[in-house]
A and B are shown apart, each in its own frame.
Chain A
Amino acid sequence: MGKPLRIALTKGRLEKDTVALLETLGYDCTAVHEKGRRLILPIPDGNLEVVLAKAADVITYVEHGVCDMGVVGKDTLMEMNGKLFELVNLGFGKCKFALATKKNYPFYDGFGVKTIATKYPNVTRAFFENKGMDVDIVKIEGSVELAPLLGLADGIVDIVETGTTLKENGLEVVEDVAQISARLIVNTVSLKMRQQEIEALVQKVEEKINDKAD
């Protein structure tokens, strides 16, 4: 066996879902469960190596080819826009990007330029560019919901899962921006140089996902 295929997983929920998926495919993920503080973990029987990283870093590692593959949310992919192959929609980690405002706020009324608070300035810019609409974008790091409540912004573009946080703060979704779920990404050179190994794994993953969907 050659060098193991290195796959970067987004720490947290996507990591758990991915490990569960790998286990249903028959891979022994003991090392990942008992990781302690280690960040590079072997899955010996699959000739795989798991790397744990934050979402944006998964993309960076795969883009540079230091990891062959990665599992990351579409939200981060849309914001980062890297050069890579996005082979599989894994189906888990589902949520959406949405534009939200205070309840009954006349967002599209009037001629003034609107201000949007968001953690995802690139996604927001692309969304409003498509509409041909000028907006001011303010980057917020923490709870974006605060910005319209405090009067800093007219609306927010953020990830919405259940909508509970919005509701509790008197906000509502005005428009969906994009659907989000976890994606399997692959480095552009790795796919070509290690086509057979990667395609074999991708095929197994796809079969499993389609089984679940049926």
Chain B
Amino acid sequence: MRRYDLITPEGTRDYLYEESALKRIVENSTRQIFRSMGYSRVITPGLEFYDVFDLNSGYIPQDELYKLTDNKGRLIAVRPDSTMPIARVVATRLRDADLPLRLYYTQPVYHFTPSLRGRSTEVNQTGIELIGSGSRMADVEVISAALSVLSSVGKEVDFHANYSLELGDVRIFRELMHRLSATPAQKEEIRSLIESKNYPALNDMLDKLGDNSITRSLRKLPTLFGGEEVFDRASEVFQDERIEEILGSMRELYKTVCAIRKDAKVIVDLGLVNKTDYYTGLVIKGYLEGYGDEVLSGGRYDMLLSEFGYDQPAVGMAVNVDAVATVIGKKYTPEQAAPDVLIAADEGNEAEAVRRAEVLRGKGLCVEFALDVDDAQDYAAARGIHKVIVLTGNTAEEVEL
């Protein structure tokens, strides 16, 4: 018995009219930005071998992956992330290509999400990867792309959303953890408490590990977020040469980013420490007012490509197209423009109708055919079409409505 033939699986949906128009708006404007920065599109398959996502420098938890097997019994994953497949492509087919490589993509990713929590299983993403450079200008380039995307949200439709761009650097956390003597399980617990800014539990946890400069620094790490003053507070907290060096380079980057766009709200959070990341340094997040989760995320991943046998630094970021479309959609409903002209033709005039339509379309007009000649004018009125061309016998009649 067919039970599920009329609905889509939980977490997925059909996009019609306004919803798909909103997505197109977001995809078009981001594509324009990426292309104007010299990026070329890459399309990777929706299905990949599971191994692509099971790496040392970053992995996707297996309970989040959609998995199936191919006809040889090998484990396949439905793409949960685009950066890892692109790293694979670069390490193989683009191995001999000149560096740096600038690639962009627009494609969905899939994750199992907890049911009935209003989250999507299928998320449309668009993003860029800049591969083959560890320079600061590469970081600035990707951040500037993120700023362009955030500041241009809804521009085509005269809608402006408040945004902020957040910078972090996982090296500070890694440095501290490297020096901390604790079991891997304890370290993971500390990481997750810093990520969720769970100050009370973090303090309890660190109490158990003794009072020293490292535990004192870890206690403060999640509280170190805000504007430029964060760097001063951080220097005071850490008082460490190696970390000072990282802070110094971050501060320079922060100043550079602030100088790009005077009106941009740029914030810093030294407590950005995600679990499954392949990030090795800079991390960025973008927020839009009116959306409860980040709409953009990215960072530097210098170890990822080496896992595919090609040791190259890289930096990139991805935009959640659905999230941005949702934000615009709260304030703006795209109009479904009616066609400009309707052509009605009786039997024998079909070819003439197509010829005339092609001429008009060549001039940039939208032309529809009436499929029922007798009903053409009523149909045009109902559809909001203002001009009807009626071809009967040897006559052509134009009617303005």
Contacts and interface: CB of A to CB of B under 8 A. Distances in A.
Interface of A: 60, 63-66, 81, 83-89, 186-193, 195
B329 to A, nearest CB: 15
B225 A195 contact: yes
Contacts of B294: 188-189
Contacts of A89: 200-201
A196 to B, nearest CB: 9
B199 interface: yes
A192 B199 contact: no
A63 B118 CA distance: 10
Interface in B37-61: none
Interface in B146-204: 162, 164, 166, 196-201
Contacts of B201: 86, 89
A192 B164 CA distance: 8
B160 to A, nearest CB: 15
B163 to A, nearest CB: 9
Interface residues of B, number: 22
B197 A187 contact: no
A65 B292 contact: yes
A81 B287 CA distance: 22
A63 B292 contact: yes
> Which secondary structure dominates chain B's binding surface?
loop
A12 B306 CA distance: 55
Contacts of B363: none
B289 interface: yes
B166 A193 contact: no
Contacts of B118: 60, 64
B197 A191 contact: yes
A191 B199 CA distance: 14
Q: Closest 7 interchain pairs by CB?
A: A65-B292, A89-B200, A85-B197, A86-B198, A64-B292, A189-B287, A86-B196
- Which of A81, A86, A88, A195 has the largest count of B CB atoms less than 10 A from its CB? A86
B334 interface: no
B269 A193 contact: no
Contacts of B292: 63-66, 187-190
B287 A87 contact: no
B2 interface: no
